[in-house]
Amino acid sequence: MTGPRVGVLALQGDVREHLRVLRELGADAVPVRRPDELDAVAGLVLPGGESSVIDKLSRAFGMQAPIRAAIAAGLPVYGTCAGLILLADRIEGGIEGQESFGGLDVTVRRNAFGSQTESFETELDVPAVGPDPVRATFIRAPVVASVGPSVEVLARVGDDIVAVRQGALLGTAFHPEISGEVRFHRLFLEAVAGR
């Protein structure tokens, strides 16, 4: 028996890595590029990559409005790094005309930790996924600059918020799929199963 069918938005970014983790956890994970493919999944991952490029491609492929509608209808969505930016209602430091899908009542600041050369790994305390520390990989990562009242803060680096949850929406500024960390994907799949 296979798990739920979930999608990874496959317009740009680290799609294969997310598909691999989700399949390892028993999900029927598929790439999503078109509205009909979105209609066939019970949850969606927005991968890391370049948020402004994914935004432009989502509009070019006719995916922006369907994704916004799916989020508004309660589709569980997990965004990592650029995906977190795409889930945010508000973006600081976006390029001119950059848009997001929205849904998460947060303001996200792009490239808050600096350039590619300032990428780093660290361990985070994330009680929502268990007692063991999370190995987190930050690559040109954003931070959550502010959260609305219904947003749960899951993790911080110092004072900076780097993981949040609001209903069926989950966002991390880091890349668990790169460091072999599966617990956030498991949290996402629990939201899918609970829907």
Identify the active-site residue in 99, 118, 177, 185.
177
Angle between helices 15-24 and 183-193 (to 10 degrees): 70
Annotated catalytic residue 177? yes
124 bridge partner residues: 134
Q: Is the CB of residue 46 less than 8 Å from the CB of residue 12?
A: no
CA of 142: how far to CAs of 20, 66, 78, 145, in Å? 24, 25, 15, 9
Identify the active-site residue in 24, 50, 81, 152.
81
Phi (first) and psi of residue 62, to 5 degrees: 70, 30
Identify the active-site residue in 18, 175, 181, 185.
175
Catalytic center residues:
81, 175, 177
